[in-house]
Structures are given as C-alpha cells and as structure tokens.
Amino acid sequence: MTRFFSAGLAGLMGLTLACGGSSSSRQLQSIAIHSAVNGQQIQFTAAGTFSAPPTTVDPLPVNWSLGLFAPPPANLQYTLTSQPYLVNCVDEEVNGPAQISAFAPKNPSATMEGTVTFAQEVAAAMTFTCP
C-alpha cells in the first residue's frame, strides 16, 4: 500500500509540475510609474505588484512607450528593460501634456522579448508635462 501511495503521489506531483505547479499562480497585478525631473529631462521608472511573494518588484522590467494604446491591439510585441526611461523635453519637443505607458506580461517567467496578447499583459500610463 505504501509503495502504491508513493507512486500515486509522485505521479500527482509530476502532473502538477507539468501543468505549471504553484509557481505559475504568481502573476503581475499592477504597475506603478514614478517620475523624477532633472532639468529638461524626466526619468520614469516602474514598480510591479504581484499576487504572491515577492509581491513588490522595483524596478520592474517593462516595455516603455510614449502615448497610449488606442485602440488596444490584439497582440503586443515587447522588449522588457528595468532601465529608467528618459524623456528629453528639448530633443523630443514634447509640448503640453503627454502620456507615457509601461506594460509587461502578467507571467513573471516571460522572456525579455516576445509577443503577448493584450489580455495577458498589465499596463499603466501617466500624464506628464515637460518643465
């Protein structure tokens, strides 16, 4: 009986791991964008909140974009970076309020470059004005 129970438990554990196990339940839930002004430059960084520990990742690797997704595309190509995004207000001629967007796949094990469906990503946006 012990041998049968051990074999059954090992098979169940293998099935659980093959289907993703508990590590796949950790998902990105939200992104917060922070900004810092330095002269004519604005530096943006992102922090992420996850559903399981570690719950906060700062800096969070994200894909940065000036502007919003309107209308939202079905699929998004991305390149994640944890480096700050810099807007040089003089060179980029940003006049009036502008938008910065950051997005990342919900899956924390996603590759640093790839494609994700709009439903499988988390996005945040911030409005800013150059000094």
Full pLDDT tens readout for the chain, 131 residues: 444 333 333 333 333 333 444 446 999 999 999 999 999 999 999 999 999 999 999 999 999 999 887 777 889 999 999 999 999 988 877 878 999 999 999 999 999 999 999 999 999 999 999 98
User: Which phi and psi angles does 58 have, rounded to 5°?
Assistant: -145, 110
User: Which phi and psi angles does 13 have, rounded to 5°?
Assistant: -65, -40
Q: What is the CATH number of the domain that holds 111?
A: 2.60.40
Q: How many domains does the chain have?
A: 1
Would residue 114 count as lying in a domain?
A: yes
pTM over 0.75: yes
- Domain hosting residue 77, numbered range: 25-129
